[in-house]
Amino acid sequence: MAGHSFVSMLCVAMFLGGCAVPLTEIEPYREVACFGAAKVSLRDAVEAAEIEGGSAIDASYRQVKEFGCLQRDAGYYDVTILLQGQLSLVSIDAASEQIQPRLEQGVERELTGQFIERMFEGRSESRIPIAQQIRLHMHDAIDIAEKDGGKSMEARVQSKDGKPGYMIKLVDRGKLRLAWVDGISPPLE
C-alpha cells in the first residue's frame, strides 16, 4: 500500500503543483544510496552492453529490491542499444558487469517508471533519429560529464535547442545534478 501512496503523491504533485519540484528531487533516495555501492560504472556498463555491436542510446542504474543495498545486491544497469535501426535492451549486473536478459522491475516500479518516462523522458524509439546524428560516443560523453565531479547514474540521447547530445544524470556528494554534453561538437581537451 505504501507504493500506492508514493504514486498518488507523485501524481498530485505533478498535476496540482505543476513542475515546481525538479525531477532530480523525485529520484528515490534508496536508489541513489544504493548506486554509491555499485562496483561497475555506467561507462563500463555501456561498453559491456555494446560488446556485440551497436550504440547505446540510453542507460540507467536500477535497484529493484527494497533492501537491495542491505543485502549487498549492487543492482544493475538497463542499457538500450541501437543496432541497424533496431533497439534491444540488456541488463548489466552492477557488481560483475555480466550481461543478462532484461530484469523485471516489479509492477509498481515498472508502472511508475513508464509513467515518468512517457511524461518527461520520452520513449527510446523517439530517440533513434537523434542518435543517428550524434558523432560522440556515449561513454565519451559520460567522461566529459564526470570531469566536474560526480558519478554518472543515467545517460540518454536527447535533443536540446535542436542540437543532438546527451543528458547525463550524476550523483555528486549524495545529490543529483544534470549535465548536458553536445553530441556533435564536444569540448576540446
Beta bridge partners of 58: 80, 156
So what's the pLDDT on residue 157? 96
Distance CA(82)–CA(92), nearest Å, equals 16
Give one DSSP letter per residue of the chain, joined into a string. -HHHHHHHHHHHHHHHSTT-S-GGGTS-HHHHHHHTT-SS-HHHHHHHHTTTS-EEEEEEEE--STTTTTTT---EEEEEEEETTEEEEEEEETTT--EEEPPP--HHHHHHHHHHIIIII--GGGGHHHHTT--S-HHHHHHHHHTTS-EEEEEEEEEETTEEEEEEEEEETTEEEEEEEESSSPPP-
The pLDDT tens digits of the residues spanning 64-113 come to: 766 666 666 788 999 999 999 899 999 999 988 888 766 655 444 444 44
So what's the pLDDT on residue 37? 76
Q: Which amino acid is at 90?
A: V
Residue 1 binned pLDDT confidence (cut-offs 50, 70, 90): very low
**Domain segments of the chain as ranges:** 27-182
Judged against a pLDDT cut of 60, whether residue 180 lies above it is answered with yes
So what's the pLDDT on residue 185? 78
Residue 158 binned pLDDT confidence (cut-offs 50, 70, 90): very high
pTM of the complete model beyond 0.75: no
Residue 3 binned pLDDT confidence (cut-offs 50, 70, 90): very low
The pLDDT tens digits of the residues spanning 19-66 come to: 444 444 444 566 777 787 789 999 999 999 999 899 999 999 988 766
So what's the pLDDT on residue 38? 85
The pLDDT tens digits of the residues spanning 146-156 come to: 998 999 999 99
Residue 188 binned pLDDT confidence (cut-offs 50, 70, 90): low
